[in-house]
């Protein structure tokens, strides 16, 4: 969409040309790259069920400079397979575009303009749904942010006026169960920063008021992200920290002091979690890796070599570590809460995930514990229980809890423990 007004104040533009980076970006030193090998091995040795997972991995590997031809061709083929699916959501298509377009040299032409056209249509469908259903998109604001980011980086059509209104930081879609969503806010910061840079560089035109609002949105979202810092340095939770780091890298015109964010502490905590095997699914590994080497999604399509690529790639699948002292079976308490609560005790093998518990309970009592599940880039997620479906139009979903507290991991990745109280609860966000 063409923009009819040009930012009139040269002084504002000149001020905005100050590099939008932190004074220094903390990253893992090349001497310590071996500590990142578990992430890389997880990504390249996993069996991908969906092409969108391959897109996440391809994007991450390209950003950090791992250009192994055999691995890359395999991933590209899986991405192409997914691209042909009509079931792709707008955010999934945006991710495919980012992965296929990552790290091209300046004289290369993006070879997938038809995908950008498709994304424009899917983005408009999101907007139309919001107009009909009380501001609720077809998917969520994380995906809408991915849409804007991909359209911005690959010259797609979007309205600056629409972006300004959509990404008001107080918008309900930045909150999930009353809690600010760090990864959603971080992706919005990346998207808005891309738009801001294109305005500054004269690639798109707008008036001073819209430019001022975009800068204000970025500043407000960054404040909200920083307010979610934990004592150990994580931001939000372990799995939102990587994207939060990217947002903080690109959004600040001034140095952040240690009271605002101790980046080295965050880095140390993440490295410790890597050593414990926390990032054991491809998407989790793919999302944390770029930030650890100082890269962001805004480096996509920037130059032909996004990273140094000084990593050792192993073709051997990691050997799982199984505690020798654990019992072969564990007992957990499982509940489904809708208007009333349905409960049972379930016995499952040691090392089982939440989904295994749900399947075992369903076999015991199909009426009370029947459910449906769907695959996503983050693995399985619950779409219905007792026939009651999650619906983005009324902001409903099935929440996973342990000991009454929401889980940050998915139903197919959270490993359950002996004596644990697990719950699936019908909730609104």
Q: Residue 265: which CATH number?
A: 1.50.10.20
Is 45 contained in some domain?
yes
- State which of 299, 318, 342 marks the end of a domain: 299
**pLDDT, tens only, 41-95:** 988 887 644 568 889 999 999 999 887 788 888 888 888 877 766 688 999 999 9
Is 342 contained in some domain?
yes
**pLDDT, tens only, 159-180:** 999 999 999 999 999 998 788 9
Pair 59, 192 in one domain = yes
Pair 348, 258 in one domain = no
User: In total, how many domains does the chain have?
Assistant: 2
Is 163 contained in some domain?
yes
Taking each helix axis as running N to C, give the angle between helix 241-251 and helix 182-200, from 0 to 180 degrees, rounded to the nearest 10: 30
Is 317 contained in some domain?
no
Of 23 and 384, the one with more pLDDT: 384
Give the residue from 302, 392, 269, 287 showing the smallest Cα distance to 103. Answer: 302
Distance CA 30, CA 311 (A): 9
Q: Which residues sit in the known binding site? A: 139-143, 183, 237, 287, 381-382, 398-400, 407, 429
Query: Mind giving me the DSSP string for 154-172?
Result: TT----HHHHHHHT-TT-G
Pair 264, 403 in one domain = no
State how beta strands 329-337 and 421-428 pair. parallel
**pLDDT, tens only, 2-26:** 343 333 444 444 434 444 344 567 8
Assigned token pair, 314: 């192993």
- Which DSSP state fits 427? E
Pair 293, 386 in one domain = no
Cβ atoms of 336 and 386 closer than 8 Å: yes
Give CA separation, 410 vs 91, 398, 425, in Å.
Answer: 19, 11, 14
Is 306 contained in some domain?
no
Pair 236, 356 in one domain = no
Residue 304 pLDDT greater than 60, yes or no: no
Give CA separation, 24 vs 19, 242, 252, 258, in Å.
Answer: 12, 17, 11, 12
233: left (phi over 0), alpha (psi -120 to 50) or beta: left
Pair 14, 53 in one domain = yes
Is 304 contained in some domain?
no
Pair 281, 347 in one domain = no
pLDDT band for position 387 (cuts 50, 70, 90)? very high
Pair 228, 346 in one domain = no
Pair 284, 348 in one domain = no
Is 420 contained in some domain?
yes
- Which DSSP state fits 6? -
Alpha carbons within 13 angstroms on the beta-carbon side of residue 413 total 20
Parent domain of 25: 10-299
Residue 343 pLDDT greater than 60, yes or no: yes
Q: Which residues sit in the known binding site for cyanocob(III)alamin? A: 139-143, 183, 237, 287, 381-382, 398-400, 407, 429
Residue 353 pLDDT greater than 50, yes or no: yes
Residue 211, pLDDT score: 94
Pair 337, 269 in one domain = no
Pair 344, 275 in one domain = no
Residue 49, pLDDT score: 46
**pLDDT, tens only, 212-252:** 999 999 999 999 999 999 999 999 999 999 999 999 999 86
Is 322 contained in some domain?
no
Q: What is the mean pLDDT of residues 407-413?
A: 83
**CATH number of the domain that residue 377 is part of:** 2.170.130.30
What does pTM read for this prediction? Answer: 0.79
Pair 278, 344 in one domain = no
């Amino acid at each position: 969409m063409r923009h009819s007004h040009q930012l009139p104040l040269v002084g504002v533009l000149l001020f905005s040309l100050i590099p939008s980076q932190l004074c220094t970006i903390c990253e893992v030193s090349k001497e310590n790259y071996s500590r990142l090998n578990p992430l890389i091995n997880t990504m390249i040795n996993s069996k991908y069920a969906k092409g969108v997972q391959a897109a996440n991995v391809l994007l991450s590997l390209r950003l950090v400079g791992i250009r192994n031809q055999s691995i890359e061709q395999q991933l590209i083929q899986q991405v192409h397979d997914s691209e042909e699916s009509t079931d792709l959501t707008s955010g999934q298509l945006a991710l495919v575009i980012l992965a296929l377009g990552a790290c091209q040299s300046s004289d290369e032409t993006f070879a997938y303009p038809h995908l950008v056209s498709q994304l424009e249509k899917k983005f408009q469908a999101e907007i139309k749904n919001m107009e009909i259903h009380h501001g609720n998109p077809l998917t969520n604001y994380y995906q809408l942010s991915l849409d804007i980011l991909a359209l911005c980086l690959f010259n797609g059509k979007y309205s600056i006026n629409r972006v300004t209104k959509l990404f008001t930081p107080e918008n309900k879609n930045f909150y999930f169960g009353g809690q600010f969503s760090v990864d959603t806010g971080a992706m919005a910061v990346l998207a808005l920063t891309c738009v801001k840079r294109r305005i500054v560089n004269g690639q798109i035109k707008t008036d001073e008021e819209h430019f001022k609002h975009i800068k204000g949105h970025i500043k407000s979202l960054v404040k909200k992200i920083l307010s979610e810092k934990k004592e150990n340095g994580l931001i939000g939770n372990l799995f939102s920290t990587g994207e939060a780091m990217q947002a903080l890298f690109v959004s600040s015109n001034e140095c952040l002091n240690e009271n605002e964010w101790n980046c080295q502490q965050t880095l140390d905590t993440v490295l410790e979690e890597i050593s414990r095997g926390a990032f054991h699914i491809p998407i989790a590994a793919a999302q944390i890796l770029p930030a650890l080497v100082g890269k962001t999604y805004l480096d996509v399509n920037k130059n032909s070599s996004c990273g140094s690529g000084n990593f050792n790639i192993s073709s051997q699948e990691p050997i799982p570590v199984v505690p020798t002292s654990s019992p072969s079976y564990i007992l957990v308490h499982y509940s489904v809460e809708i208007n009333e609560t349905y409960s049972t005790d379930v016995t499952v093998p040691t090392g089982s995930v939440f989904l295994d518990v749900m399947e075992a309970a369903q076999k015991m009592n199909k009426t009370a514990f029947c459910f449906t599940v769907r695959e996503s880039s983050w693995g399985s997620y619950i779409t219905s229980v007792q026939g009651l479906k999650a619906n983005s139009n009324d902001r409903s979903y099935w929440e996973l809890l342990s000991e009454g507290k929401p889980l940050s991991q998915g139903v197919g990745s959270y490993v359950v423990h002996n004596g644990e109280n697990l719950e699936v609860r019908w909730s609104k966000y």
